[in-house]
Amino acid sequence: MTTWQQLKYRFEMLNIAERLIVIQVVCFVVPFVLNTVFFLFQIPASTWMLWLQLSADWTGLLYRPWTLITYSFFHSGFFHLFWNMLFLYYAGMFFLNLLPARTFLNTYFLGVLTGGLVFIISYAVFPVFNGIRPPMVGASAGVMAVFVFIATYTPNQEIRLLFLNLKLKHLAMAYVFLDIIQIPYGNAGGHLAHIGGAILGYFYARGLQNGRDLGLGFEKFYTAFLAIFKRSSTLKTVYKSSTKSSRKYQKTFSEQRKIDAILDKISASGYDSLSKEEKELLFRAGKDQ
């Protein structure tokens, strides 16, 4: 097993919160490497971040809508990353002990989206921000959504903090209160984004307790979006394999029709819908090239 295969295996053994932390750490390290390359080739190093960080200006979102998600994968410094990931790890462990990974992902990314929108709306609405349009990075809104969700879902769950036993609901209220009172003293947009994530986490948990999953629409959207790329990649690979194989071995008309039917089935229902025999046929077609 190669080093890459070992790393891939270890990554696949992690739960969804741990995988997200690994991705966040990689996204923190990669910019340092890129900045070195840009420095050597005398390329302005700051320009590429404009395409990933979230601007407080609405026009930035219109031209770069993906930044409403991508901003959460980058951090302004080591301790910004460290505390967010530490918080996400422990909140994630509580969360995943009770609820499935898909609910965790829905909560986290809806928190990121809500925090980002609150950030943009705040700079457009509040007079104190007139003429100020700073960018934002960081996963804090998503982390806050996960933490407030679990504190709302299991409010009386206690944790040990130094010499005290604290209920999650009290700890969550303390964190939200600290964000509110810190708004005038720096990073106002960041604190407002945290509050946006907290609001999302609270209402998501309350909705789930009442039998309504507020993340279902979002889940269907990103599942369908990812399926487009997955299906396209599968079809392309299978089609190339079958075409090369047929040219080399001059497959019979009957066998080619079977392959065409399998390709149609993949297009309609996905690769997983194939039977064992159909998968073996495609596998042989892929080897014979």
Which comes out higher in pLDDT, residue 242 or 262? 262
| 205 has a pLDDT exceeding 90 | yes
Distance in angstroms (rounded) separating the CA atoms of residues 40 and 34: 10
Look at residue 160 and tell me whether its pLDDT is greater than 90.
Answer: no
CA-based R_g, the chain, Å: 24
Please report the domains of the chain, with CATH numbers, ordered by start residue: 3-214 (1.20.1540.10), 230-287 (no CATH)
Other Cβ atoms within 10 Å of 37 Cβ, number: 10
Orientation of helix 216-249 relative to helix 101-125, angle to 10°? 120
pTM over 0.75: yes
Q: Tell me the sheet residues that pair with 167.
A: 158
Most confident among 31-40, 147-156, 227-236 (mean pLDDT): 147-156
Tens-digit pLDDT profile for residues 83-135: 999 999 999 999 999 999 999 999 999 999 999 999 999 999 999 999 888 99
Neighbours of 82 (CB within 10 A): 13
